[in-house]
Structure 1
């Protein structure tokens, strides 16, 4: 149900048509009329999980080439979402409907008075809650709350949210108002927000060809090392998150996004919210994580570096029925690496002990030759630059002075002292 964005550069000598072809034969294309290096972007809407092979095709007046582009699409992961609001609003209602349509578990708590609440549950068996505690919040992957609601929460509930976030909970804060008078709630909106003159933006959203005019607060999230953007408009960051302990806090500045759904543009609405929801939610803690250190493409017979983080005391890496030797990092605990040589083109599988298999795609020998050459050029340039820097470094070396130097110095000094009175 989500979108993938494929970005790259193509270096051409003549007008070229670049096509992305899915397994059903459906095509998306970009036409380049000028020579030189140029950027391109493709957007893919995933309808089902699995290992999917796309084709990238370049066509000129003289020839055409086709390359295989592998994608791994994850299966749907159900989230347990808690939504807090002072009173029902269109924004929260449409967001709830969107998440419920995707199959996520939703519980909504609306405050009718100081001590009275109304509740709504969709796709969930969790008990309704009247008061937030860190014990209750540990059952949820994401807490969605408007700034106006956050302002009214009690000290104990805010402290519970802080503890739950440090333990892994994701919080998505919808900025329906610019300020929050509750000093205890400031930790959740501590993004060093800057004033902005604009109260609307023209956004191009995934899956939609046209630009959409959406309202926003007169604020902007500044770019900082610890703040990761999720939605941008030019240089302006409209949604971003930061880590808080093992959890995350996300800030979203757009208002009245429900207008997209009311206008019937559910695809644009999904393009806006899917990535924000996914990135803001609790991160699953895995006992084993396998990654490839080398850049795509991979080829049969060539070395491929595998990095592994695992809680296993004595991990064993298997490939094609063989055990691949692992080397443990001397500085980082539970961090291992190995080098293997893929034996065949196509999908290959490795796994660690009894963990979930990790698959990767090996290209045919004739594919991606230009990309491979460019990667080798970049590697050689990096090595040459590092070597130049190494040559420029002056290294001090200490050499032992022979002892007779000191003896001769001593004799000359004593001779001078004996001779000086006689002159």
Structure 2
């Protein structure tokens, strides 16, 4: 309705000007009337002009390595005009065609009003991704790049344990098979074929020497090497235990076990019953040997694991049983029982969870196959009985019909292990030391009491690279200074920051300059960390950076029209323009009438 008022006023003034008898200056009267009407219209409804917006855009496109021009063109067509396009270029070379960011923090500084960011290509490094927190990031990856996408392994295996390397791989030609191999000491130790050129894999190898080593994961297709990635490990010598062997009578089983543990530098004490009231004792690698008359708290404090048979445990007095129960509750000792009797003794701590199931006579006299995770594939032994599964039991080794023949349960802070395997020394007689070592390492490792670590240092980054921050965490109330020794050059001392939640934690940031082994040391605790070369293990980083940015993974299919993409600014004319034009027109009408 407001648009009609100036028009009606203009018609009225024109009609009045034309009806006047005096025809002189009629054109001036008509023009002045229209000018006055136009002035009132401009004052009531000032016109609006549009001009390009100078406000920072709310949506932008970031190009990273490996992006597709076709994807960029399709995205810009859907987002509309006015969307800025930037390139992530952390190196020294600056592209000429597109403005570039050196790091992710510069994105927020250059585009303060940014709300949505479309990332094309492989993405930003995980260390830069936290700078994008708070943005709605849409990821546009055309295809997963070729190579090892993810992999896991135990970086500190014990000597004699099986090292398993698992992960996923994507080949260039999915219609051709790919051979993956794990190489150590210049030779392939295990290999697997991916028939479709991609998928999950698992490779295994048992290290034969302690120390630091760098194995290699290799992928080949049609005889051509597609990818190669390092697998750094630090093979640990098993920490020698202090083992107390108690036998009711001489046996080959404990004699072979005693010699085996002594060869591995374990501290061993053996008490063997010869007749009623007569025992024989032996000590190996144990200075200042104690008296082995009866089990006392003082005696149990000197040993980590007690290995005994059913007859010896059944002959414990009430005081010895209480001492063993207390050592288990305090977590100072573990118990390994060789169940060589039809029933378990009532003195067994936590014995209510263990139940024996005798095997038929024919099965008990025939060697049965044994298996456990990452154990040897061909293991057989006599199994007179199995253990009945219970809620509190954790199977360690399984035998016939996948029934446990060795299991463990927690008792207080300690562990009780029960094994029903009758004889393992034949493995030594058949020259199978690897099987013998793996079997007893699993049992003794399960019975080993947990040792507190008053001082430790650990790296928090799984895939460190040069010129990227590497976080370290030290544990200990008096951790002391943290020093880093690179492959070349002097050691560096790092400043540590106290943790806000855990008073015993300290964190420090280190920027490695070169690839290779780096040693982190605080006090007597040390940790070796391998820094990968710039082009190594890039696949895991491409999977981790969206999580580091704390945003849901977006896809191109979910992208719609952008909002607030630098829309043009609309500005209204000042109203005084209308008043000035009205006064000019009204003044001309008044002046013409006076003439």
- Fold shared by both chains (TM-score > 0.5): yes
Structure 1 Cα separation of the partners of residues 165 and 194 of structure 2: 19
Q: How does 1:72-83 map to 2 (within 5 A)?
A: 72-83=234-245
Partner residue, 1:60: 221
Partner residue, 1:173: 337
SS across alignment from 1:51: strand
Among 143, 154, 161, the alignment partner of 2:324 is 161
**C-alpha deviation, 1:366, in angstroms:** 1.0
Structure 2 Cα separation of the partners of residues 178 and 345 of structure 1: 59
The answer (yes or no) to whether the contact 2:300–2:333 under 8 Å persists in 1 is: yes
**C-alpha deviation, 1:210, in angstroms:** 3.2
Distance 1:196 1:112, change over 3 A: closer
Distance 1:181 1:103, change over 3 A: closer
**So what's the TM-score if we normalise by structure 2?**
0.56
The answer (yes or no) to whether the contact 1:221–1:239 under 8 Å persists in 2 is: no
SS across alignment from 2:513: coil
Q: How does 1:268-287 map to 2 (within 5 A)?
A: 268-287=435-454
Distance 1:105 1:19, change over 3 A: same
Q: How does 1:111-260 map to 2 (within 5 A)?
A: 111-125=273-287, 126-165=289-328, 166-177=330-341, 179-182=343-346, 185-193=347-355, 195=357, 201-203=368-370, 208=376, 210-215=378-383, 217-222=385-390, 224=392, 229-232=395-398, 236-260=403-427
- Say how many residue pairs are matched: 374
SS across alignment from 1:42: strand
Q: Does 1:335 align with 2:529?
A: no
Structure 1 Cα separation of the partners of residues 180 and 494 of structure 2: 41
1:83-119 deviation digits (Å, cap 9, x = unpaired): 0111122322222222122222221112234432222
The answer (yes or no) to whether the contact 2:306–2:333 under 8 Å persists in 1 is: yes
Partner residue, 2:247: 85
Partner residue, 2:482: 317
Partner residue, 2:161: 3
Structure 2 Cα separation of the partners of residues 167 and 31 of structure 1: 43
**C-alpha deviation, 1:214, in angstroms:** 4.3
SS across alignment from 1:259: helix
Q: Which has the higher contact order (CA 8 A, sep 6+)?
A: 2
The answer (yes or no) to whether the contact 1:106–1:123 under 8 Å persists in 2 is: yes
**C-alpha deviation, 1:255, in angstroms:** 2.4
Distance 1:360 1:244, change over 3 A: farther
Q: How does 1:29-108 map to 2 (within 5 A)?
A: 29-35=190-196, 36-47=198-209, 49-61=210-222, 62-108=224-270
5+ residue gaps, structure 2: 1-158, 485-490, 554-595
The answer (yes or no) to whether the contact 2:267–2:286 under 8 Å persists in 1 is: yes
Structure with the larger strand share: 1
SS across alignment from 1:82: strand
The answer (yes or no) to whether the contact 2:343–2:356 under 8 Å persists in 1 is: no
Q: Does 1:349 align with 2:519?
A: yes
Structure 2 Cα separation of the partners of residues 229 and 381 of structure 1: 41
Distance 1:21 1:216, change over 3 A: farther
1:282-301 deviation digits (Å, cap 9, x = unpaired): 4443320223334x332223
5+ residue gaps, structure 1: 386-423
Distance 1:327 1:32, change over 3 A: same
The answer (yes or no) to whether the contact 1:329–1:337 under 8 Å persists in 2 is: no
The answer (yes or no) to whether the contact 1:43–1:207 under 8 Å persists in 2 is: no
Structure 2 Cα separation of the partners of residues 73 and 384 of structure 1: 38
The answer (yes or no) to whether the contact 1:106–1:121 under 8 Å persists in 2 is: yes
Which of 281-290 and 143-152 deviates more? 281-290
Distance 1:382 1:201, change over 3 A: farther
**So what's the TM-score if we normalise by structure 1?**
0.77
**C-alpha deviation, 1:235, in angstroms:** 5.8
Larger radius of gyration: 2
Structure 2 Cα separation of the partners of residues 323 and 381 of structure 1: 27
Q: How does 1:367-406 map to 2 (within 5 A)?
A: 367-376=536-545, 379=547, 384=552
Structure 2 Cα separation of the partners of residues 336 and 106 of structure 1: 39
SS across alignment from 1:215: coil
